[in-house]
């Protein structure tokens, strides 16, 4: 149905006690309070995507999901995979009235300690977002 891709990613190992990193969580909170456009502004802040109108416009296609799935109701962390000491891959379920939307975010720690989102992907199909081993545990 909907596929939005920004970048390319790989999958690493996960720790079950990891929390949602701040840039992702702040965007989810903005989404709940002010809508998806506010979330995008938070998620791309200080990233390579900030100021890229074409990328932002492409990401805004996710708002079409609301037309079919209903109102955004919340989220749940599925997995955090540590790819390198400075890069984490975050898998989320984003809950709507009628169905979940699946997402991943790559979090990059800059040398100054700031965390930014370097890429995101949203899809209505879990198999597109979640790693293959997730379905065969």
pLDDT at site 48: 84
**In this structure, CATH architecture of domain 3-136:** Roll (3.10)
Q: Where are the domains of the chain?
A: 3-136
pLDDT under 50: residue ranges of the chain: 1-18
pLDDT at site 54: 74
**pLDDT tens profile 32-71:** 999 998 999 999 999 888 887 777 777 778 888 899 999 9
d(CA 64, CA 79): 25
């Amino acid at each position: 149905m909907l596929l939005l891709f920004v970048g390319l990613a790989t999958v690493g190992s996960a720790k079950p006690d990891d929390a949602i990193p701040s840039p992702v969580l702040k965007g989810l909170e903005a989404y709940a309070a002010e809508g998806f456009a506010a979330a995008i502004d938070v998620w791309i802040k200080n990233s390579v995507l900030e100021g890229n109108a074409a990328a932002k416009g492409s990401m805004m296609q996710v708002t079409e999901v609301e037309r079919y799935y209903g109102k955004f109701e919340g989220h749940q962390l599925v997995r955090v995979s540590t790819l390198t000491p400075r890069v984490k891959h975050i898998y989320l379920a984003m809950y709507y009235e009628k169905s979940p939307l699946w997402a991943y975010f790559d979090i990059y720690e800059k040398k100054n300690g700031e965390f930014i989102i370097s890429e995101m992907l949203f899809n209505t199909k879990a198999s597109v977002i979640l790693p293959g081993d997730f379905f065969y545990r």
